[in-house]
Structure 1
Amino acid sequence: MSVRSKLTLSYAGFLTLSGAMLIAAGWLFLRVMPDDAIRATTGFVPNRFILLRSFMPATGTVLAFLLVFGLLGGWILAGRMLAPLTRITDATRMAANGSLSHRIQLEGRKDEFRELADAFDAMLTRLEAHVAEQRRFAANASHELRTPLAISRSLLDVARNDPTHDHGELVDRLHAVNTRAIDLTEALLVLSRADQRSFTREPVDLSLLVEEAIETLLPLAEKRGVTIEASGDITPAIGSQALLLQMTTNLVHNAIVHNLPEQGTVWVKTGVRRETVVLTVENSGEKLSPQLVSTLTEPFQRGTGRIRNDHAGVGLGLAIVKSITQVHDGSLTIVPRPPGGLRIVVQLPTPPPHAAK
């Protein structure tokens, strides 16, 4: 039995029962009402038996009318009440079949059905964006992985067809291409692990992670002529130490690699605010437009003029930073610096008092 039928029967049954109770009350009133009260109300005393006998057929007619009226009115009212639910069901079926662009857009006053429809539309919007992002990511990842594999095949074909070729040079090039493929695969695994939120949260000091990241990347900075300036006090946070270290390292690495050709500078600062802890990484470099900066957290996106070299990365650095920030319930802000370069700010929630001890 459909919900509409159940509501119709419920409405008709309730209306009929109410009528029956009202008629029973009238019948009881006539049965037990004293003759003096009837005389005072009507001015005469009727035959009580004849009055009750004539009262019964009328009650049957009234009950039949109430039943028919309840069924017809209940069916119409139930249909009007359930019409929004029908639209939501149709939208759900379309989404289940793969159509995520459809929206319910329920009109009318704000009620439970309207709230449900709006929540469903919001879910479809987020789901559509997520699916589109995953499709772009899969396509880009396939392209990025295909490139080193194609280069490796070409190098192997050269070695097979030309035995006199310098195999030492081929091995070096194969090693470089293989290293890039491994780096890309590891970056994809880090990104997947962050998105799954499969990590244990523990107290972490961001200032110590900054020191570790700078110490690791200092040889690269010296090689590229980049100066790193770090400042800040103890910055307690809570989360995965491995992921937050990966986030910090990616930010510092990105600031070093995408800097001025010479005499560049990286500024790293940590701090504590009222409800958040803040990690700020700034670097000198080329001037970037706000439109370009807004795309840098997309996987495999690189700024204009950023060429690939031994340390350029695989195009997932800021995408990993964004993902790690989100799974730690934080926010990521990237803005271009007027003189050139970027200013990246990561804000994470302060840990609860018991977690910071």
Structure 2
Amino acid sequence: MSRPTGRVLTLLELLQSGGTRTIAELADRIGVDGRTVRRYVDQLIDLDVPVEAVRGRYGGYRLARGYRLPPLMLNDDEALAVLLGLIAGQRTGLAADTASETAAAKIRRVLPERLARRLDTVQQSLAFTKPSGESATPDTGTLLTIADAVRHRRPVAIRYTDRDGRRSDRTLHPYGIVSHSGRWYVTGVDPEIGENRTFRLDRINDARALPGSFEKPAGPDPAQRVLSGFATASYRHEVTLRIHGTVKQIRARLPAGVASVEESAPTAGEDLATERWHHVELRAERLDWLPAVLASLDRPFVIERPDELRDLVIALADRLTSYARQA
């Protein structure tokens, strides 16, 4: 797409967003002078786009009331952004595979053939260094219902199935929706017990808004609430450590979704970047991955519990020592 044509389309998009736009504003947004803006407006009028001139102190240009753009007008950059967004959504679980494929097909059908071929080339050339892994896309109706409740701070009634297959009916004051590792979560407060709760959206079988409203309290944002919930969830093993270093060093290998870190208060003359002992807790179904993580920290640490982890670390150290001594 030539540069002047792209600028004319940008002008049309700005006018389509509504209201009256001054010549100075349009010139600044497009990167041209006022005379060029008038020339671009004349080109739109020649294409039967009803651009109206508004006189007066706050005058400028606007589109005639009721005018709407054709269903799809994308330049090269916009089309590429939409396509990559669909691919990324499919890979990360943000969108269902079928919905992503059908949306991409619809976009491709209405694009000029030249641009469609170029976008096909990009899609066929893309490769990912890491498998997308397991993803679980929520029901669209459930997602929209809960998103509306988050926005308007309305309670919702949900029917939930936990990982053991148990079903229950719950009420939730939803604070936000979070996508993490291919899954969607809603986090908020259960008003019946007064505790923060996080639920997987794909396990919600039904959701409906309830009368009333609630006030969202101050505190961590929804993403931090979800990650903190992961770190304190019930698992087979409860691990307690003391690690010497900075919080940044610890978080590099044990992020908030894995472990909770109780920061030690700095002594006189120390700042937050000073290395010192911190209390770390985490929960895990298995322990076999932890020795390698602790080794990669390359910081002094003490295992307070469980003894099984201490044995696994010693076994790893013995193996590494035997490997290093081999000729």
Pairwise TM-score range, normalised by the shorter structure:
under 0.3
Taking CA–CA contacts closer than 8 Å with sequence separation of 6 or more, which of the two structures ends up with the larger relative contact order?
Answer: 1
What TM-score do the two structures reach when normalised by structure 1? 0.22
Q: Give 1 or 2 for the bigger CA radius of gyration.
A: 1
Greater strand share, structure number: 2
What TM-score do the two structures reach when normalised by structure 2? 0.23
